[in-house]
Amino acid sequence: MTNPFSLVGRRALVTGANTGIGQAIAIGLAQAGASVVCAGRRACDETVAQITRAGGQASSVLVDFVDPMAGQSLFAGQGFDILVNNAGIIRRAEAVDFSESDWDAVMDVNLKALFFTTQAFAREVFARGAGSGGGRVVNIASLLSFQGGIRVPSYTASKHGVAGLTKLLANEWAAKGINVNAVAPGYIETNNTEALRADVDRNRSILERIPAGRWGNASDIAGAVTYLCTPASAYVHGAVLNVDGGWLAR
């Protein structure tokens, strides 16, 4: 019997895979059997090392999505079946003080690069034809795909855009063999949230709202992403899966 949760024989590209959530996703896909290419603007050597030490297959490529078109050349002839758009940046300031340069930088990486990278991936999958087994796209959204937040106007706008693009691309590509979905992480223990966790009052207020009673681990996100890349999710299209310990349900 075929294992519907296996990724053996599949080839994946994970952006922003050098650390944190992206690193965990790359490792999770490799554990499920995929051959993983880790993309980042900094070297992904540690991620590749963790995968290969465990007997998996991984390599890396340097890509800086400050140039939104940087992903256009990644897919031709490479046989990718899976794309995980995890790379992203954030800028913080009061809305009344927010600069055009910070707005453009975040939108370029988080939304424009995501769209044009995914476009290039889809073109390659379609060019291979129906016998290729189709493709999977998983975008990393955010709780701020649903909420407003404060002091992160371009990040909030970009993550709302990620949720919308996920649905649009699913509408266009579901019948053509590509599943497009997203995962929206909640409060996850990463370097980016270290300051929040170190703030006793802020940490307490966050935990009081999370029904699960704990911060998430990067591996929690990896599990959800891996599922959306496997045959087990064949009829899942256009979903934005919240992995937030129940935060949005509160």
**Under 8 Å between Cβ of 74 and 7:** no
Long-range contacts of 50-55, Cβ-Cβ distance < 8 Å, separation of 24 or more: 50/23, 51/26, 51/27, 54/27, 54/30
Name the residue with tokens 């053996």: 8
Helix (H) or strand (E) holding 26: helix 20-31
Q: 155, 187, 227, 235: which is the annotated catalytic residue?
A: 155
Residues paired with 103 in a beta bridge: none
Is 227 considered catalytic here?
no
Instruction: Render 150-181 in DSSP notation, one character per residue.
Output: SS-HHHHHHHHHHHHHHHHHHHHHGGGTEEEE
Residues known to be catalytic? 155
